Amino acid sequence: MTTEWTHTTVMLHEAIEALDVKPDGTYVDATFGRGGHTRLLLSRLGPKGRVIAFDRDPEAVQVAASIQDARLEIRHDAFVALGELPAHSVEGVLMDLGVSSPQIDDPARGFSFRNDGPLDMRMDPTRGQALSEWLATATVAHMAEVIREYGEERFALPIAKAIAARRQERGPLDRTLELAQLVADTVKTREPGQNPATRTFQAFRIHINGELAQLEQALEGSLHILKPGGRLAVISFHSLEDRRVKQFIQRHAKAVVDRRVPFAPERPMPLRAVGRFKASEAEIAANPRSRSAILRVAERTHALKGHA
């Protein structure tokens, strides 16, 4: 018997509204998850509309395959692959950067510090290195760097030293609750209501899946595939992601003047910032995981000269 893990899509209607959906358009759901955004997108499209969905989680791909709709194409791949689509071929790109509830809630996936399971944390368990394998050989310096940079954890070095000491005494860590307890024993103070292992687990997940580097590549890819007037909508859940999305939009939306050439016109930029949005109070009350969500929206301009 298999457990049906449920997932509540964050900022569902806000994200789809932000895309300004055209009935005959082609849209990319770069992170299918359990398909909440994709299903609503399909409901807004006409017979000629199309959704291309990406996800590297085989379970998500399996869910997508169960949707009987010829307008949907699912690709088992990380969202960096969206840049391989033809240039200026889509009307909108949506990225929901959150880890889906089934991934968190299923102990077998190794994301949870509340339930015991193998230390895996791979978005795609068929590829790459599980967290337990990396922890078996990583140096203290490298572990501390990952925890500090991706978890913004001030106790990064003591945690890394504790992992190394545990490894030397009894062999590598391979269970989630053991890692969570080790972190709790090392971190003496923590923000009220936050599990001591939250930041460390986030850091290891980001590292094992290469999330931030892939995000930066996917954002650049979206610029390549969006048509003029097309929309980019990105939902992030922590400051490391949001900062990169914000900086990407700013970098490509801020007009530049060449001060070496007097009276030179501003160089047209490929993006226009549309806005920044947060989940409503009602949604946060119904789904606390939406509390940290930030939706940033930008539009591809018609000024394409000199840009991808």
Radius of gyration of the chain (CA): 21
- Of 9-13, 82-86, 140-144, least confident by mean pLDDT is 9-13
Q: Output the domain CATH number for residue 126.
A: 1.10.150.170
- Please compute the mean of the pLDDT values over residues 286-292 and round it to a whole number: 89
Residue 308 falls inside a structural domain: no
Nearest to 197 by CA among 165, 169, 166, 159: 159
In a domain, 55, yes or no: yes
- Averaged confidence pLDDT in the chain: 90
Among residues 190, 209, 228, the one where a domain terminates is 209
Do 57 and 77 fall within a single domain?
Answer: yes
Please report whether residue 280 resides in a domain: yes
Of 100, 109, 212, 107, residue with least CA distance to 151? 212
* Mean pLDDT, range 283-291, rounded to an integer: 90
Residue 107 domain flag? no
pLDDT value at position 172? Answer: 87
Mean pLDDT of 85-110: 87
Q: Which residue, among 240, 247, 245, 254, has the nearest Cα to 219 in the 3D structure?
A: 245
Domain assignment of residue 305, yes or no: no
Beta-bridge mates of residue 277: 295
Q: What is the pLDDT of residues 230-274, one digit of tens each?
A: 999 999 999 999 999 999 999 999 765 556 666 556 667 899 999
Q: Angle at which helices 198-209 and 176-186 pack, to 10 degrees?
A: 130
Which region, left, alpha or beta, applies to residue 291 given φ > 0 means left and ψ of -120 to 50 means alpha? alpha
Q: How far apart are CA 42 and CA 233, in angstroms?
A: 17
Percent of the chain with pLDDT over 70: 91
pLDDT of residue 255: 64
Task: Give the chain's domain count.
Answer: 2
> What integer pLDDT is reported at residue 258 of this predicted model?
57
**Final residue of a structural domain among 141, 174, 209:** 209
- pLDDT for the residue numbered 306: 45
Q: How far apart are CA 297 and CA 200, in angstroms?
A: 29
Domain that holds residue 66: 12-101+211-300
Question: What pLDDT, in 10s, does the model give residues 154-168?
Answer: 999 999 999 999 999
% of the chain exceeding 90 in pLDDT? 76
172 in Cβ contact with 132 (< 8 Å): yes
Instruction: Note whether 222 and 31 are within 8 A (CB).
Output: no
pLDDT on residue 108:
81
pLDDT band per the 50, 70, 90 thresholds, residue 1:
very low
Confidence of residue 215 (pLDDT cuts 50, 70, 90): very high
Does 267 share its domain with 283? yes
Is pLDDT above 80 for 124? yes
Rounded CA separation 190/198 (Å): 10
Q: Which two tokens stand for residue 170?
A: 């009894």
Categorize the per-residue pLDDT at 111 as very low, low, confident or very high, splitting at 50, 70 and 90: confident
Count of CB atoms within 10 A of residue 243's CB? Answer: 12
Residue 267 pLDDT: 65
Q: Indicate whether 106 belongs to any domain.
A: no
Residue ranges of alpha helices (H) inside 11-78 are 12-18, 36-44, 58-65
- Domain boundary at 209, 230, 261, which? 209
Are 22 and 45 part of one and the same domain? yes
Q: In what order do the strands lie in the sheet with 26-29?
A: 72-76, 50-55, 26-29, 90-96, 226-236, 294-300, 271-278
Mean pLDDT, to the nearest integer, of 102-115?
A: 81
pLDDT higher than 90, residue 140: yes
- Mean of the pLDDT values across residues 173-202? 90
Residue among 54, 21, 12 nearest 218 (CA): 54
Q: State pTM to two decimals.
A: 0.88
Q: Contact 230/87 with Cβ under 8 angstroms?
A: no
